[in-house]
Amino acid sequence: MRSFLIDRYKKGGTLRLGESPEPELRENDVMVEIHAASVNLLDSKIRDGEFKLFLPYRPPFVLGHDVAGTVVRTGPKVRRFKVGNEVYSRPRDHRAGTFAEFIAINEADVALKPENLTMPEAASIPLVGLTAWQALVEVGKVKPGQKVFIQAGSGGVGTFAIQLAKHLGAIVATTTSTKNVDLVKSLGADVVIDYKTQDFEKVLSGYDLVLNSQDAKTLEKSLGVLKPGGHLISISGPPDPAFAKELGLNLFLKLIMRLLSRGVRKKAKKLGIRYSFLFMRAEGQQLGQITSLIEAGVIRPVVDKVFPFEGIGDALAYVETGRAKGKVVITVAD
């Protein structure tokens, strides 16, 4: 099958279009013919080797963490899906590879595609949808009336998280550039901060939850907008001891994680604030709940650009500029 391969870890390295074997279909897997996939910063970071200590892949390997397509075969123990089903998924770690024509995915990581979305629209959802769901519903336990600050509101996670937070009954603040103010307001943001002219830490206070997706400086500033008992959830690091324990890392890596997050954890504790690092996981059941919200019109996808399969390099470069509004998608098969 045609696929885009990473031959070695390299910062800013190129993806090679080539032939690779069709993936092995395990007993609990569905084989999906890929119609569309989306491109995420996670792909760049894995290519660059940023996560190889705890999320190693052996080159050559295929990138890609979002997929929408059609089931063409099923393993003998699969019960939830059948050939012909239109599905979408964020395949679990160590089984990525959606920049290709086919992928085998554990059925536990798969959900039926929302009927009201096209394949490219559906492919834009899984990674950012699950990230927002796990941050706001599972970890943050957002309740009606709470104040939630979601950074980078016009980005992939931000556009989804604003809509989900509003559905949960929260008062939502976000940051964006001047040209995207109307977009984030249309998604439900109550307080919009133009980061080019305003400093969010001077505008916001008394917040219950912050979803951080930015750099270390922004993470530290975020502590100041939370009230005592508030919760700072970061999807951009630094990883914490709980994350290391969840992955079952060795003692050396556990120590590294502890040291990396020691500063922010110490400051948070002094302020009476909880700090959590979130590295989202594949979860088909949660994706099914997201499907229901999309079909009910509660959440809509935001897709900036759609590239052809051969344009993956350009798509990845565009995502790396940080200027994408919502998601960037590639089409693989009609």
Say which CATH number the domain at 268 has: 3.40.50.720
Range of the domain at 238: 128-277
What digits encode the pLDDT tens for the residues 208-255?
A: 999 999 999 999 999 999 999 999 999 998 998 888 888 888 888 889
- Do residues 164 and 236 both lie within one domain? yes
Any domain includes 104: yes
Please name the residues in contact with 66: beta carbons below 8 A apart, sequence gap of 6 or more.
37, 38, 40, 88, 89, 90, 98, 123, 124, 125, 126, 127
Q: Which residue would you say has higher pLDDT here, 289 or 323? A: 289
- Do residues 38 and 133 both lie within one domain? no
Any domain includes 246: yes
Segment 301-321 shows an average pLDDT of 97
Identify the burial level of 308 via C-beta atoms within 10 angstroms of its C-beta, where 0-12 means exposed, 13-18 middle and 19 or more buried.
Answer: exposed
Q: How far apart are CA 229 and CA 273, in angstroms?
A: 5
- Do residues 73 and 171 both lie within one domain? no
* 151 touches 214 (CB < 8 A): yes
- Do residues 138 and 238 both lie within one domain? yes
- Do residues 28 and 51 both lie within one domain? yes
Any domain includes 150: yes
Segment 183-189 shows an average pLDDT of 98
**pLDDT higher than threshold 80 for residue 315:** yes
What digits encode the pLDDT tens for the residues 60-87?
A: 999 999 999 999 999 999 999 999 999 9
* 86 touches 291 (CB < 8 A): no
- Look at residue 21 in the predicted model and tell me its pLDDT: 93
**pLDDT higher than threshold 70 for residue 92:** yes
Whole-number mean pLDDT of the chain?
96
**pLDDT higher than threshold 90 for residue 333:** no
Nearest to 316 by CA among 88, 153, 94, 98: 98
**pLDDT higher than threshold 80 for residue 334:** no
- Look at residue 42 in the predicted model and tell me its pLDDT: 94
Range name among 42-46, 61-65, 121-125, 254-258 with the lowest pLDDT average: 254-258
Any domain includes 24: yes
What digits encode the pLDDT tens for the residues 254-300?
A: 898 899 899 999 999 999 999 999 999 999 999 999 999 999 999 99
Secondary structure class of 196 (helix, strand, coil): coil
- Do residues 315 and 191 both lie within one domain? no
Any domain includes 92: yes
pLDDT class for 113, splitting at 50, 70, 90? very high
Any domain includes 172: yes
- Look at residue 10 in the predicted model and tell me its pLDDT: 94
Any domain includes 283: no
